[in-house]
Amino acid sequence: MMLGRISGSVTTKDFAFKAEAKVKKLQYVAVKDFEGKWILSYIDSITNYMNSTLAKAKVIGFRDSRNFLKPLPVPFEPDTPVYSADDELIKLTLGLKDDGLYIGILEGYDIAVNLPPRHLITKHVAILAKSGAGKSYAAGVLLEELAEKNIPVVVIDPHGEYMTMVDENRKENEIQQMKRFSIQPKSYKNKIQIFDAGTQNPIKLDAKLSTEDIFEMLPTHISAGQEGILYSAMKNLASKDYTLRDVIEEVNSVDSNAKRNLSSLLEFLEGTKLFSANPTKPEELVKEGRMTIIDLKEASPDVQQIIVYKVAKELFNARKYGKIPEFFMVFEEAHNFCPERGLGEVASSKLLRVIASEGRKFGVGLCIISQRPAKVDKNVLSQCSTQIILKVTNPNDIRAIMDSVEGIELGTREEIKDLPIGIGMIVGVTEQPLIVDIRIRRSQHGGEAMVKQLEPGKEGAEAIEGITPVYESKLQVYAPRFFEEDIMRTFKSVDDLRFLNYPVWKADGVRIGKDVELLVDGITGEIFFEKDEDVDSSKGIASILELPHDQRRVIVYLAGSGAAGIDKISGNTKMLLSDAQSALKHLVEKKMVIREGEEYALSSSIHLPSETSSMKLSRKIIERDRVGETLDFTVTKDAVKKVAEIWNINILEIKPVYYPYWVITNKKKKYLVNALNNRLEIDKARALKGTL
């Protein structure tokens, strides 16, 4: 079909034509050169004028007799017809094969895009996208294809997203689209084995650690003196079949004060209960036709680092010496395991740099998946010759991608920003970047992009745009009122933005015959309440819990009444005047109450709701799939009951709910923004230092 004729200036790299038929961006077009050969190009931009449409195209080239892609040697003549390219010309020129790892179809065409398995293992892969753009979904598609080809795979899965591959896809809307991709629902249960950091099928690490292993896995750096003690201990144990407990005892036997902190750090390692005299062997993890998923969702970041370092090292060494077959290793949330050097080293950093540079020689393929390319070690990222890039909008992340990919044009920057959800740009498999509609998953997906359905002031939403859920459970949550665009508008300098599910105990009880609700912070033990139609937090709960009953009564009364004289305090709390005087004297000494003339008031160290009715937030709690990051509870239910005693509340039921926050990173400093009122919470961020 003829689309128009070339007009204006023409070069060997691009041309323009007046469209006489409907055209669209990224459409492939064919033009005959002066020798009669068909040359493939694609439409780069389209401009509509009053009475015409002008399309600009970039030249891809043609295949010569040796199947090399050649550029156009001589510009096209003006007025040369431009045709819609047929499938065969597109496949031939782009170098698309009929077999391989079926990742999807060429956008706008029914042409399958297959990635060569050998290319991936020898060249490494990066799957990059902003949160919610479908990177984990695309990774799942790739894993399905590797399973279809019986290629051994080991997946480091920090959030437990890939375990659902044991179930076939049951989503009706996706099943209806499968015909377009010529696939059927399928379970990979018979090809998957799952290890975890918990109790189901725990991964066990070799308890006989080298000195280097211990140095890398300790949660903090140690002094030169402590290094000397450890070297000496390991030397003494060299001829023995030792365990980590033997190392600890050897260190403790040294007569030096420097051993104390070192011994505690070693106790931390042993306390992880990861190490065993009967460890999981590399041969158990890497098997022909098997996929091993290491589920780390129950592990803390420190424990995750230890597991990743030790497992990756054992597997790499086993492959170097031919003990296991060639395999593909996948790292989800790769920025946590090989961060850019300016962001600090972790246990696995050095090792992943080695695997990235040397793995291809030994048949170890590497796949890194990240929503923050700028935070991934640039040396690791640049070693990934194949990149599957989905929608990315952060300028730093786009710059990191552009710097790591060879042969990518500057105009691609805007294309990456404008990619629709589920559409990926694949670079490095062919000479030309491919825009691919990622196919539907055959198996169940454990983490997917969600669409925002809640606008400020509305209730009942079940999802948030741009946050990827982990389907390990449902959460009872307060639906956020402020979203990513609101935060970016309010706080101009933002290097990173993450959504956080903050733990809160929701306690229902009774006080003086009336129903009462108490919301206790699951980390600090303070309480949430309403003040002036806003959400506020208490201050000083821990100090109040240490007070005797009479002093607590005075504190609660002053919170509700404001400043009051001693007679009024005594009468309204029904305390003897002498008891009230004694209570106030002690509270003033503790600086929890201040005296203003003849009246007393709470000091700035204490902040409580004025009445129990304000403890119930007038915000809708909804149930939805877990999205974003989730902090664990550190405050127990028993502690909640003790908080309730301050107001003489009889607790009937305690349930976990989650409060929405945004975590902002600016110049390596982290700030917490309340997603219900869009305000910075400095004190809470300080309390969470080291956790955010």
Query: Has residue 326 got a pLDDT over 90?
Result: yes
Q: Say what percent of the chain tops pLDDT 90.
A: 52
Q: pLDDT tens, 530-541?
A: 888 788 889 999
Whole-angstrom distance, CA of residue 308 vs CA of residue 331? 9
DSSP secondary structure letter of residue 181: H
Query: Has residue 546 got a pLDDT over 80?
Result: yes
The beta-carbon contacts of 340-344 under 8 Å, at least 24 apart in sequence, are 340/374, 340/375, 340/376, 340/377, 340/378, 341/377, 343/375, 343/668
Q: Residue 469: enclosing H or E segment and its boundaries?
A: strand 469-478
Question: What per-residue confidence (pLDDT) applies to 464?
Answer: 38
Query: Has residue 468 got a pLDDT over 60?
Result: no
The answer to whether the CB of 428 falls within 8 A of the CB of 385 is yes
The answer to whether the CB of 334 falls within 8 A of the CB of 375 is no
Whole-angstrom distance, CA of residue 511 vs CA of residue 531? 20
In single-letter form, the type of residue at position 213 comes to D
Query: Has residue 346 got a pLDDT over 50?
Result: yes
Q: Residue 175: enclosing H or E segment and its boundaries?
A: helix 172-181
Whole-angstrom distance, CA of residue 111 vs CA of residue 91? 8
Query: Has residue 37 got a pLDDT over 60?
Result: yes
**pLDDT grade, residue 670 (50/70/90)?**
confident
Query: Has residue 460 got a pLDDT over 70?
Result: no
- Distances from the Cα of 184 to the Cα of 65, 175, 187, 360, 436, angstroms: 39, 8, 10, 33, 20
Whole-angstrom distance, CA of residue 445 vs CA of residue 451? 16
Burial class (CB in 10 A: 0-12, 13-18, 19+), 669: exposed
Question: What per-residue confidence (pLDDT) applies to 451?
Answer: 31
- Which residues sit opposite 331 in a β-bridge? 156, 368
Q: pLDDT tens, 426-447?
A: 988 888 889 999 999 999 987 5
Which residues lie closer than 8 Å to 585 by C-beta, 6 or more apart? none
Alpha helices by DSSP H, 548-631: 549-561, 566-573, 577-589
Query: Has residue 141 got a pLDDT over 60?
Result: yes
- Which residues sit opposite 427 in a β-bridge? 387
Query: Has residue 207 got a pLDDT over 90?
Result: no
Which residues lie closer than 8 Å to 526 by C-beta, 6 or more apart? 520, 537, 538, 539, 541
Q: Which range is least confidently modeled, 149-163, 373-387, 465-479?
A: 465-479
What number of other Cβ atoms are within 10 A of residue 272's Cβ? Answer: 17
- Distances from the Cα of 441 to the Cα of 97, 173, 180, 424, angstroms: 21, 12, 12, 15
Which residues lie closer than 8 Å to 163 by C-beta, 6 or more apart? 157, 192, 194, 293, 295, 446
Alpha helices by DSSP H, 182-300: 211-217, 224-237, 244-252, 259-271, 282-285
Q: Residue 294: enclosing H or E segment and its boundaries?
A: strand 291-295
Pick the CATH number of 2-94 from 3.30.200, 2.40.10, 2.30.29, 2.60.40: 2.40.10
Q: Which two tokens stand for residue 497?
A: 């933005």
- Which residues sit opposite 102 in a β-bridge? 114
Question: What per-residue confidence (pLDDT) applies to 636?
Answer: 85
Question: What per-residue confidence (pLDDT) applies to 583?
Answer: 93
Place of tokens 């491919």: 434
Question: What per-residue confidence (pLDDT) applies to 643?
Answer: 92
Q: Which range is least confidently modeled, 282-296, 357-371, 586-600, 677-691?
A: 677-691
Question: What per-residue confidence (pLDDT) applies to 412?
Answer: 65
The answer to whether the CB of 555 falls within 8 A of the CB of 605 is no
The CATH topology of domain 539-608 is: Arc Repressor Mutant, subunit A (1.10.10)
Whole-angstrom distance, CA of residue 103 vs CA of residue 114? 6
SS3 130: coil
In the predicted model, what is the mean pLDDT of residues 322-339?
94
Whole-angstrom distance, CA of residue 660 vs CA of residue 676? 7
DSSP secondary structure letter of residue 299: S
In the predicted model, what is the mean pLDDT of residues 263-267?
87
Q: How far apart are the first and last CA of the chain?
A: 57
Whole-angstrom distance, CA of residue 250 vs CA of residue 653? 50
Question: What per-residue confidence (pLDDT) applies to 474?
Answer: 67
- Distances from the Cα of 161 to the Cα of 61, 139, 165, 469, 471, angstroms: 41, 10, 9, 9, 7
Question: What per-residue confidence (pLDDT) applies to 407?
Answer: 57
Cα radius of gyration rounded to whole Å, the chain: 31
The answer to whether the CB of 388 falls within 8 A of the CB of 127 is yes
The closest of 106, 90, 82, 81 to 23, measured between CA atoms, is 82
Query: Has residue 90 got a pLDDT over 80?
Result: yes
In the predicted model, what is the mean pLDDT of residues 402-422?
74
Q: Which range is least confidently modeled, 34-43, 467-476, 483-492, 657-666?
A: 467-476
Query: Has residue 57 got a pLDDT over 90?
Result: yes
**pLDDT grade, residue 408 (50/70/90)?**
low
Question: What per-residue confidence (pLDDT) applies to 688?
Answer: 79
| The CATH number of the domain covering residues in 101-203+280-429 | 3.40.50.300
Which residues lie closer than 8 Å to 579 by C-beta, 6 or more apart? 550, 570
Question: What per-residue confidence (pLDDT) applies to 467?
Answer: 36
Whole-angstrom distance, CA of residue 101 vs CA of residue 120? 10
In single-letter form, the type of residue at position 640 comes to V
In the predicted model, what is the mean pLDDT of residues 92-119?
93
Q: Which range is least confidently modeled, 258-262, 357-361, 513-517, 596-600?
A: 258-262
- What are the two backbone dihedrals, phi and then psi, of residue 232, each rounded to the nearest 5 degrees? -65, -45
Query: Has residue 209 got a pLDDT over 50?
Result: yes
The closest of 177, 189, 130 to 416, measured between CA atoms, is 130
β strands within 479-604, DSSP E:
496-511, 514-521, 527-531, 534-537, 564-565, 593-596, 599-602
Whole-angstrom distance, CA of residue 355 vs CA of residue 370? 17
Whole-number average pLDDT of the chain? 87
Q: Residue 57: enclosing H or E segment and its boundaries?
A: strand 53-63
Question: What per-residue confidence (pLDDT) applies to 484?
Answer: 81
Q: Say what percent of the chain tops pLDDT 70.
A: 94
The answer to whether the CB of 460 falls within 8 A of the CB of 454 is yes
Whole-angstrom distance, CA of residue 678 vs CA of residue 310? 42
Alpha helices by DSSP H, 321-394: 349-362, 378-382
Q: Which two tokens stand for residue 385?
A: 């010759």
Question: What per-residue confidence (pLDDT) applies to 411?
Answer: 57
Whole-angstrom distance, CA of residue 565 vs CA of residue 604? 19
Query: Has residue 471 got a pLDDT over 60?
Result: no
Question: What per-residue confidence (pLDDT) applies to 409?
Answer: 61
β strands within 318-384, DSSP E:
327-331, 364-370
Query: Has residue 459 got a pLDDT over 70?
Result: no
Sheet containing 593-596: which strands, arranged edge to edge?
A: 564-565, 599-602, 593-596
Q: Which range is least confidently modeled, 149-153, 480-484, 522-526?
A: 480-484
In the predicted model, what is the mean pLDDT of residues 448-472?
35
Domain ranges of the chain: 2-94, 101-203+280-429, 206-276, 450-532+613-692, 539-608
Query: Has residue 668 got a pLDDT over 90?
Result: no
668 against 459, higher pLDDT:
668
Query: Has residue 457 got a pLDDT over 60?
Result: no
